[in-house]
Structure 1
Amino acid sequence: MRNWLILHVLAACCFGCRAGENVIQPTEDVMVVEGQPTTLTCLFDTTDQSPYLFWYKQQANGKPMFMLRRDKFGVKETATEFKDRFDALLNFTAKSVPLTIQRVQLSDSAVYYCALKPTVTTGIQPPYKKYRFHTCP
């Protein structure tokens, strides 16, 4: 029997960003079959010519965990526990940094944040748009 995951997108804003800067994630629900790949969309708007884009994962009742950072110069920083199945490619022209998850697992159930600022190090929980995985019977 296949396990299905539903991807929910919730409300968005850009905490700590300057005027005219934000992250945009389309409002949609996506069903994902366990074991299949999926991509979470993140678009951004900034006047910064060298932005840094971040992805964070927050499991139920946990703190946001840094997953990865991408920048205009092609520098990739990815936390060790996310190197095998998680990746993002910053497309500065399209102003996007989609997160790709290979072989989705039930343990991937979490809230995923896209951010223009390094938020976890500040100790502030970011109210960014987020994706949430849920299992379905």
Structure 2
Amino acid sequence: MEPYYIVSIWLFIHLGSVLGDSVQSREPHLSGREGDAVTLTCSYETSSTGYVYLFWYRQFPNQAPQYILRRGVKQARGRSDTAEFAKKRFSSQADDSSTVLSIAALEPADTALYLCALGVAR
């Protein structure tokens, strides 16, 4: 019989750095079984038409946030970066109103606080 694990994923939103910018989680708490896939979604608003980036981090208890990936939108569209550890199971898409983080083949070690952040370069 396959072992059953509950993997809880918490999402914390870091507000954007520009007045009027906002980021909001669509599902503040998710759980899944080992081997499942989950998708976290952040909606965002920004008045910037320049270089806008959506970042994903994860944070384990008593540790600093760990960078997962970055996706560019607006003038930064097509600019992306993913941490080496995340390249096999973590993926993301972003458009002009939201970003998603998908985690494939959940592992118990994926239990963490997941953070979405909006960055605007001027």
Q: TM-score per shorter chain, which class?
A: 0.7 to 0.9
- Post-superposition Cα deviations, 1:74-118, rounded to whole Å, max 9, x if no partner, equal 1220010111100110112xx111100000110011111000139
Contact 2:93 2:99 survives alignment (8 Å): yes
Partners in 2 of 1:89 and 1:48 — Cα distance? 19
TM-score, normalised by the number of residues in structure 1: 0.74
One of 82, 85, 92 as aligned partner of 1:88: 92
Structure 1 or 2: more strand by fraction:
2
How big is the shift at 1:31? Answer: 2.6
Q: Aligned with 1:39: secondary structure?
A: strand
Partners in 1 of 2:114 and 2:9 — Cα distance? 10
- Aligned residue for 1:135? none
Where in structure 2 are the equivalents of 1:51-90 lying within 5 Å? 51-72=52-73, 73-90=77-94
The unaligned stretches of length 5 or more in structure 1 are 119-137
Partners in 1 of 2:29 and 2:7 — Cα distance? 10
Where in structure 2 are the equivalents of 1:1-137 lying within 5 Å? 1-9=3-11, 12=13, 14=15, 17-49=17-49, 50-72=51-73, 73-92=77-96, 95-117=97-119
Q: Aligned with 1:81: secondary structure?
A: helix
State the one-letter code of the partner of 2:72: D
How big is the shift at 1:27? Answer: 5.0
How big is the shift at 1:20? Answer: 1.1
Aligned residues: 114
How big is the shift at 1:6? Answer: 3.1
Q: What is the Cα-based RMSD across aligned positions, in Å? A: 1.9
How big is the shift at 1:28? Answer: 4.4
Q: Aligned with 1:74: secondary structure?
A: coil
How big is the shift at 1:29? Answer: 3.3
Indicate how the Cα distance of structure 1 residues 17 and 59 shifts in structure 2: closer, same or farther if over 3 A, else same.
same
